[in-house]
């Protein structure tokens, strides 16, 4: 067993012991007694070492310059599932299971931070953008964890009494005929144009914007809709800047079911006249569940479980009932508001768009928290 010095960035050192030493040959590891400068090696035996620390010679070793890890810019809340469908899909449902899994993630996900929330079963998870967090959520879903998540919120800073928020550089490649719609979307989200140039021989333009991270939440789906799916969006963190003001990402309300049960074709045909549905006929829902997007501002309560009255009276004229349109997938990262929570336990995430969507707790006193069972992580 070889004794070495482990040095931290603040010049504090401690003695560590290496049990085994390996180098890489071909596609495998080979144990060796020593390594020289330039060798790529693997060590075993130091349990408490962290990224940024230096393994050096016991006598004359010093710490190398620290590797700086980018700070998180987006935060989401994780908590145990309290919806009516709790325990039907997930294997790990307790707050202890959730805590252990989140803190275990910190061992290999260095840019992520986990903090205790306001209650014992709530945790605040911070990461570099919504994609960073949704990858964690998807991995936990596949492992059988059942939990709720809140909407993403940016992490602001206060420097010299001024409120700062994170900004990112967005590069959008879009055909010229759709450029007007894309520019309008970015303007509504407080984007500042940095550059615009022609890109490619087919009339494609490349736009570069500096946009607040708040404005990028849900932007990808909106741009794809405006450009008929022909735009390409890439973003990268830039810096913190002054607060850009209020940003509205959703101007439409929600369609909320005021009765639980199984949805019917008769009710869905009538409901789709009020907006876009998330559910399909024959799907089990519960009271207060969000079943679609209202075509106007404000929420609308309706009954998607209503059955057609059976009578012995024939109609004098023949009527052809319109069919039910296919439901659209629910995008929590795009759809979420401050009072939304989404359940995330199901194993068959993409099965026929079978989404059991948010419900509003305390429906009589207004929407307090909204939860759902299925999510589509495409943002």
Structural domain boundaries of the chain? 2-56, 157-242, 254-371
Does position 287 have pLDDT exceeding 90, yes or no? no
Q: How far apart are CA 233 and CA 33, in angstroms?
A: 50
Per DSSP, what are the bridge partners of residue 121?
none
162-175/157-159 β-pairing: antiparallel
CATH superfamily, region 2-56:
Translation factors (2.40.30.10)
Burial class (CB in 10 A: 0-12, 13-18, 19+), 160: exposed
Give the distance from CA 19 to its chain's centroid.
40
| CA 363-369-373 angle, 5° bins | 100
Look at 325 and 70; give whichever has higher pLDDT. 70
Please indicate whether the domains covering 2-56 and 254-371 agree at the CATH topology level: no
Look at 78 and 336; give whichever has higher pLDDT. 78
Residue-level pLDDT at 319: 47
Does position 340 have pLDDT exceeding 60, yes or no? no
Q: Would you put residue 45 in left (φ > 0), alpha (ψ -120 to 50) or beta?
A: left
In CATH terms, 157-242 corresponds, of 3.30.70.240, 2.40.10.220, 3.20.20.70, 3.30.70.270, to: 3.30.70.240
Tally Cβ neighbours within 10 Å of residue 234: 11
- Range with the poorest average pLDDT among 40-44, 62-66, 272-276, 309-313: 309-313
Q: Would you put residue 39 in left (φ > 0), alpha (ψ -120 to 50) or beta?
A: beta
Burial annotation 192-207 (CB, 10 A radius, 16+ → b, else e): eeeeeeeeeeeebbeb
Look at 288 and 124; give whichever has higher pLDDT. 124
Mean pLDDT score across all residues of the chain: 78
- Range with the poorest average pLDDT among 47-56, 112-121, 326-335: 326-335
Residue-level pLDDT at 342: 60
| CA 336-115-101 angle, 5° bins | 85
**Percent of the chain whose pLDDT exceeds 70:** 82
- Rg of the chain over Cα atoms, rounded to whole angstroms, equals 26
Q: Domain 254-371's class?
A: mainly beta
147-149/74-80 β-pairing: antiparallel
Residue-level pLDDT at 57: 82
Model-level pTM greater than 0.95?
no
The confidence band for 317, taking pLDDT boundaries of 50, 70 and 90, is very low
- Write the secondary structure of the chain as one string of H (helix), E (strand) and C (coil): CEEEEEECCCCCEEEEEECEEEEEECCEEEECCCCCCCCCEEEECCCCCCCCCEEECCCCCCCCCCCCCCCCCEEEEEEECCCCCCCCCCCECCHHHHHHHHHHHCCCCCCCEEEECCCCCEEEEEECCHHHHHHHHHHHHHCCECEEECCCEECCEEECCEEEEEEEEEEEEEEHHHHHHHHHHHHHCCCEEEEEEECCCCCEEEEEEEEEHHHHCCHHHHHHHHCCCCCEEEEEEEEEEECCCCCCCCCCCEEEECCCEECCHHHHHHHCCCEEECCCCCCEECCCEEEEEECCCCCEEECCCCCCCCCCCCCCCCCCCCCCCCCCCCCHHHHCCCCECEECCCCCCCHHHCCCCCEECCHHHCCCCEECCCCCCCC
Give the distance from CA 199 to its chain's centroid.
31
Q: Give phi and psi for 243, each to the nearest 5.
A: -60, 130
Report the length, in residues, of the chain. 379
Residue-level pLDDT at 378: 33
């Amino acid at each position: 067993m070889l004794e070495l010095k482990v040095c931290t960035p603040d010049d504090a050192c401690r003695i560590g012991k290496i049990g085994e030493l390996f180098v890489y040959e071909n596609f495998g590891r080979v144990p060796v007694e020593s390594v020289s400068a330039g060798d790529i090696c693997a060590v075993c035996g130091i349990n408490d070492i962290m990224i940024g620390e230096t393994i050096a010679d016991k006598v004359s070793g010093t710490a190398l310059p620290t590797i700086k890890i980018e700070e998180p810019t987006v935060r989401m809340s994780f908590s145990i599932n309290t919806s009516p469908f709790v325990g039907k899909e997930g294997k790990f449902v307790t707050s202890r299971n959730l805590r252990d899994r989140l803190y275990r993630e910190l061992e290999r996900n260095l840019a992520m931070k986990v903090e205790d929330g306001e209650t014992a079963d709530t945790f605040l998870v911070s990461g570099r953008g919504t994609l960073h967090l949704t990858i964690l959520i998807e991995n936990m879903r596949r492992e059988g964890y059942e939990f709720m998540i809140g909407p993403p919120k940016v992490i602001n800073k206060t420097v010299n009494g001024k409120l700062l928020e994170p900004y990112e550089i967005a590069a959008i490649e879009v055909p010229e005929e759709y450029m007007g719609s894309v520019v309008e979307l970015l303007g509504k989200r407080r984007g500042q144009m940095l550059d615009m140039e022609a890109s490619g021989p087919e009339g494609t333009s490349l736009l570069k914007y500096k946009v607040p991270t708040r404005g990028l939440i849900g932007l990808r789906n909106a741009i794809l809709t405006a450009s008929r799916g022909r735009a390409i969006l890439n973003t990268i963190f830039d810096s913190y800047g002054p607060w850009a003001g209020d940003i509205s990402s959703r101007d439409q309300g929600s369609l909320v079911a005021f009765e639980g049960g199984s949805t019917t074709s008769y009710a869905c045909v009538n409901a789709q006249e009020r907006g876009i549905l998330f559910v399909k006929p024959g799907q089990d829902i519960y009271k207060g569940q969000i079943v679609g997007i209202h075509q106007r501002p404000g929420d609308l309560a309706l009954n998607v479980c209503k059955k057609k009255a059976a009578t012995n009276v024939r109609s004098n004229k023949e009527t052809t009932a319109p069919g039910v349109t296919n439901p659209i997938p629910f995008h929590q990262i795009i759809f979420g508001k401050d009072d939304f929570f989404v359940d995330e336990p199901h194993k068959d995430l993409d099965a026929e768009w079978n989404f059991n969507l948010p419900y509003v707790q305390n429906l009589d006193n207004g929407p307090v928290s909204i939860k759902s069972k299925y999510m589509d992580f495409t943002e």
